[in-house]
Amino acid sequence: MTSPTLHAGTALAFALLCGPALAESGKLLLTGGVSSIDGAAGGGLTPWALTGSYATQGQLGGTAFLTRVKTQDYALNVLGAVASYDDRGERSFARQDFDTGPTGPALGLPGLRLKQDIIGLKVRMFGEAVLDSDTVVPQVALGVEFKTADPGGLAPTLRALGASTSGTDVYVSATKLFLAQGVLLNATLRATKANQNGLLGFGSAADNGYSVQPEVSIAWLLNRHLAIGAEYRAKPDKLNPSALGAGLEEDDWSDVFIAWAPNKSLSFTLAYVDLGHIVPAVVTRRQQGAYLSAQVAF
């Protein structure tokens, strides 16, 4: 297994692909969003049409981030980076490491961790969030995420259920910034086969087709350094029912968050997350808890 240190170095190197011509001024504070758990710029759970970093026309920029989500029974660690150019496109990388908590021992797999690598591409199609803030035109972007899961000792079970360990998500996001009111609205449609975002593989023997799922975000800029908001992410339910009955039923995700950026080089996001039931055959209560993310911009 590749070491976390190597992956951290890879993520940082990825962020620095933009080389010496880093963005020095660029967009308004917080208008680059933060880093989602999949790596793309946006909210914590869902991508926005905005590109990461503060790079604008003719500039290169990058970010690196570290995120931890902790619920009553599970924990997720994510590290990654984004490289963006010209406020037109971005490339992202995220490495997810999910601690299965009591589920691993219940399945006879103590210490089970589910891991996933995600490489993302995003291209702004039309609109410009700040310049078009006084019109009805949103900024619209098309994105793709290539996901490769490492389910460890759970791999034979996923194979038996007909789930693949790799998959591709395709999404379109529309972001509308009302600058005078300090309000940002985002809507995303995602075509996906992912089970628990890919940590439990992709598709199943019963349902191996793509599902289109909505994701929405709202953020209110209290001042130029501070924003609050909420997100909702619908998810497919392709492992339910299965040979395990409803034991792998999948719920939607939501959060409420606060993001603080003391300057353009650093931002922090704190959220309360509700991830619903995760493997309810083993753990019956909803998984609710804290989300904390730190992001550095270059």
Per CATH, the homologous superfamily of domain 4-297 is monomeric porin ompg (2.40.160.40)
**pLDDT at residue 17, rounded to an integer:** 34
Domain range summary for the chain, segments of one domain joined by +: 4-297
What pLDDT, in 10s, does the model give residues 252-261?
999 999 999 9
Q: How many other C-beta atoms are found inside a 10 Å radius of the C-beta of residue 289? A: 17
What pLDDT, in 10s, does the model give residues 128-155?
988 888 899 999 999 999 999 999 999 9
**pLDDT at residue 243, rounded to an integer:** 65
| CB crowding 228-245: b at 16 or more within 10 Å, else e | ebbbbbbbbbbbbebeee
Instruction: Kindly give the parts of the chain with pLDDT less than 50.
Output: 1-25
Measure the CA–CA gap between 225 and 296, rounded to whole angstroms.
Answer: 15
Contacts (Cβ under 8 Å, ≥6 apart) of 93: 10, 11, 14, 39, 80, 81, 82, 117, 118, 119, 120
Contacts (Cβ under 8 Å, ≥6 apart) of 1: none
Pick from 114, 118, 116, 174: which is nearest to 144 by CA? Answer: 118
Q: How many other C-beta atoms are found inside a 10 Å radius of the C-beta of residue 134? A: 10
**pLDDT at residue 170, rounded to an integer:** 98
- Give, in order, the Cα–Cα distances in Å from 173 to each of 45, 122, 142, 193, 298: 13, 10, 7, 18, 24
